[in-house]
Structure 1
Amino acid sequence: MSLIAPGSVIGILGGGQLGRMLAGAAERLGFDVDIYCPDTDAPATRVCRRHWQGAYDDGALLAEFAAACDVVTLEFENIPVGAVSVIEASGTPLHPGQRSLSLSQDRGDEKAFLNSIGVATADYRLIDDNTDIAPALVELGAPSLLKTRREGYDGKGQAWIRSPADIESAWKSVGMAPCILEAAVPFEREISVLVARSSNGETKTWAPPHNVHLDGILSTSTVPSGLPADVEHDAREQAIMLVDALGHVGVLALEFFVLPDGRLLANEFAPRVHNSGHWTPEACQTGQFEQHIRAICGWPLGDTRRLFDAEMVNLIGDAGLVTPDHLEPGDVLTLYGKREARPGRKMGHITRRLNPRKD
């Protein structure tokens, strides 16, 4: 892969807050940024060189966008694979590619792939219609969690089945769409590994944060995780194994359940920068957004050493109306530029820099 030089144009598919923060990192490294998304006023569209407003199935406009860029990336995993195909066919480099994107879009395919490379997950069954649920529940045991195979996020598209009496209501609540039924996991805590991979196979990981969710939405990510070093090492190695198997270029997040005995079960992966890594720009030598730009542009990856212990706190709904008066010394506030606060909507985050690291 040839180096993409400062002054070049990075294209981003998607206009949300992750695109906005990627654009900021790209700007600091001397790049211009174009954003492609259908929305008229998305957060990233107000901090870019040019906003290409169009549908993800507008092949002609996507090809024009690709021709205007030196490299293209994506900021969320629900970009239609067809849009990525247009970019790839144009000849403009795109990272990550179709494989990472398509596997992450289907929970059944994702878990099958993870298992195929030796990354363990919770036991699960594929559910095509409601008649599949009862026999699967017998095999997995109750309670089990019904999850849509596609487009679920932040706890959406999920329903617990605690007895056969819950089957019909759970099926309706997830939209009667193809699903997986997943065995309950008696986990002790949740962590994630953020890993970056370059096109020449160089990899870097960050310290795995301990993640706490409320109502299915990430609330806090804290480092250090409090886990033994060997458990963290195992998690990092599995994340590296995943990006190598995918041939992934850029940042990827792999989420894990940690069992009481220290064993790890992968939950899911996101082929992009991730909410649980938002603490890295303020607490590490190189944050996830800069690292992603480095990776997709063929630059050497930056040092990921942690300079501070840290806690990232998501600002959800009205909490996103926080002002600097609410901050403590050492806090760093990031707001996403969203015009309206709504219940369950991520409006920003605070990174609390705690103890400086001496190692």
Structure 2
Amino acid sequence: MNTAQHTQETEIIARTRIGIIGGGQLGLMISEAARKLGFASVVVLDPTPQCPASTVAEQIVGNLKDPIALRQLADRADILTYEIEHINTQALQNLQDEGVKIYPAPELLGIIQNKFEQKEFLARHGIPVAPYCAISSPADIEQAIQRWGYPLVLKARKDAYDGRGNARINGPEDIEDALAKLGDRELYIEKCLDLDKELGIMIARNQRGESSTFPVVEMIHERDICLTVLAPASISAALQAEAQKMASESIDKLEGIGIFGVEMFLDKQGKIWLNEIAPRPHNSGHYTIEACQTSQFEQHLRAVVNLSLTPTTMLYPAAVMENILGERNGPAEVHWSRDYDHEHVFPHIYGKRETKIDRKMGHITVVGDDLDKVYTEAKEARATLSI
């Protein structure tokens, strides 16, 4: 970037007000990046008083689906973005129709919110996705079993995240329980692939259609929640390139603006399948704050404001992110059993006042020269923290 372009972008940033729908940990880290860049102001909408993002941004206390609260946020911002998909798409569409700038666009959010529609969109555009079909009755499940065999996973089309909204069917004895768990929701069913790894990639795209990908990472899940991220993923250069190409094609087809977390499956035959897309910063990109030249949060802001996208090269050969998940229910109390290496270990505590089992309370990123060694150090660092 030359000096004139840098000066022009600095001036744009200084006069632009950012509004964020949602003030949880992602809203917090977007706000921190916005403050660091020098945006004119940052306002978040969140129903919880003194939400995590309120420590660095102004907060409007209100429901994320309330059209009045959303309009109040829009009145105080030049550009709206969001940290969560489960919001009022129609209210956002109405605001956009009136001229409010919202990125990613409400139309795109409508596709992403419904995971079945998301699969349909990707399949229509030639993106490989696991075999799936709509479900409206138990007979449809039987047809899927006859077609693909076991295991299968029954999925809710909407309001599903971190495994909530999924029910695995390993045999006929699981069908009744799966329907009991999800049967009152709109459903679809998906064939379970024989997985080698679960991969993730962050990709940003601005209004000019310029895009920028981060390194492909490996995600390790427990109880369907992303627990660990290994960067970069231990895969071949050819697979890295294939994953980046698949992510780029998907976001181009969606005409996405902002940052997107693209989750993928690598099966044991070496084929990559796209699992799902998050139209926002994502767990799999938290490591970028310390480990990359540009964080996912800064790149998101640069994309939605239509600035140039800056380099995403890793600053270290290896990085590991460990999610800090709640282990009990009650008031949050942060305690370290011993000190940590402040040059290579970077804890982020989100400031949530109540801890709950499996609630995301923070994360730790560890950087270094060797991925296996860094992974061990990350596990050790996590073990010294209770919250």
Fold conserved between structures, TM > 0.5 = yes
* Equivalent in the alignment of 1:355: 369
* Equivalent in the alignment of 1:344: 358
What is the SS of the residue equivalent to 1:5? helix
Alignment of 1:34-49 (within 5 A): 34-49=43-58
- What is the Cα-based RMSD across aligned positions, in Å? 2.0
* Equivalent in the alignment of 2:130: 122
* Equivalent in the alignment of 1:64: 72
Q: Quick check: 2:327–2:358 contact (8 Å CA) kept in 1?
A: no
Instruction: Pick which of 242-251 and 171-180 moved more.
Output: 171-180
What is the SS of the residue equivalent to 2:369? strand
Question: Shift of residue 67 of structure 1?
Answer: 2.1
Give CA deviations for 1:61-86 in whole Å, capped at 9, x if unaligned.
Answer: 42232122111101111112123213
Runs of 4+ with deviation above 6 angstroms: none
Q: Quick check: 2:81–2:104 contact (8 Å CA) kept in 1?
A: yes
Question: Shift of residue 162 of structure 1?
Answer: 2.2
* Equivalent in the alignment of 1:195: 203
Counterpart AA for 1:346: K
The gaps in structure 1 that reach 5 residues or longer are: none
Counterpart AA for 2:261: A
Give CA deviations for 1:302-356 in whole Å, capped at 9, x if unaligned.
Answer: 1101111100011111498353835335000111111111111110001001129
Give CA deviations for 1:22-67 in whole Å, capped at 9, x if unaligned.
Answer: 0000000111111112232321233213x22223443334223212
Q: Quick check: 1:100–1:248 contact (8 Å CA) kept in 2?
A: yes
1:323 aligned onto 2:336 = yes
Counterpart AA for 2:353: R
Q: Quick check: 1:77–1:101 contact (8 Å CA) kept in 2?
A: yes
Q: Of the candidates 322, 332, 346, which is equivalent to residue 313 of structure 1?
A: 322
Question: Shift of residue 180 of structure 1?
Answer: 1.3
Change (3 A) 1:341 1:60: closer
Q: Of the candidates 276, 294, 304, which is equivalent to residue 296 of structure 1?
A: 304
Matched positions, count: 355
Identity, in percent, stands at 35
Question: Shift of residue 98 of structure 1?
Answer: 1.5
* Equivalent in the alignment of 2:158: 150
Q: Quick check: 1:15–1:42 contact (8 Å CA) kept in 2?
A: yes
What is the SS of the residue equivalent to 1:188? strand
Change (3 A) 1:317 1:58: closer
1:184 aligned onto 2:192 = yes
Instruction: Pick which of 30-39 and 236-245 moved more.
Output: 30-39
The gaps in structure 2 that reach 5 residues or longer are: 1-7, 372-387
Counterpart AA for 2:354: E
Alignment of 1:84-99 (within 5 A): 84-99=92-107
1:212 aligned onto 2:220 = yes
* Partners of 1:201 and 1:322 in 2: CA distance: 45
What is the SS of the residue equivalent to 1:41? coil
Question: TM-score scaled by structure 2?
Answer: 0.87
Question: Shift of residue 141 of structure 1?
Answer: 1.1
Q: Quick check: 2:22–2:64 contact (8 Å CA) kept in 1?
A: no
Q: Quick check: 2:66–2:88 contact (8 Å CA) kept in 1?
A: no
* Partners of 1:61 and 1:274 in 2: CA distance: 25
Give CA deviations for 1:271-292 in whole Å, capped at 9, x if unaligned.
Answer: 1100010000100100100100
* Partners of 1:60 and 1:223 in 2: CA distance: 42
Alignment of 1:216-235 (within 5 A): 216-235=224-243
Change (3 A) 1:340 1:165: same
What is the SS of the residue equivalent to 2:219? strand
1:249 aligned onto 2:225 = no
Question: Shift of residue 237 of structure 1?
Answer: 0.6
Give CA deviations for 1:160-191 in whole Å, capped at 9, x if unaligned.
Answer: 11223322211011243111111111010011
Instruction: Pick which of 122-131 and 309-318 moved more.
Output: 122-131
1:75 aligned onto 2:83 = yes
Instruction: Pick which of 173-182 and 37-46 moved more.
Output: 37-46
* Partners of 2:227 and 2:65 in 1: CA distance: 34
What is the SS of the residue equivalent to 2:14? coil
Counterpart AA for 1:327: Y
* Equivalent in the alignment of 1:33: 42
Q: Quick check: 2:45–2:69 contact (8 Å CA) kept in 1?
A: no
* Partners of 1:227 and 1:79 in 2: CA distance: 36
* Partners of 1:298 and 1:207 in 2: CA distance: 22
* Partners of 1:237 and 1:256 in 2: CA distance: 12
Q: Quick check: 1:63–1:90 contact (8 Å CA) kept in 2?
A: no
Question: Shift of residue 114 of structure 1?
Answer: 1.0
Counterpart AA for 1:265: W
Instruction: Pick which of 329-338 and 17-26 moved more.
Output: 329-338
What is the SS of the residue equivalent to 1:168? helix
Comparing both chains, which one has the higher relative contact order based on Cα–Cα distances under 8 Å and sequence gaps of 6 or more? 1
* Partners of 1:59 and 1:350 in 2: CA distance: 36
What is the SS of the residue equivalent to 2:162? coil
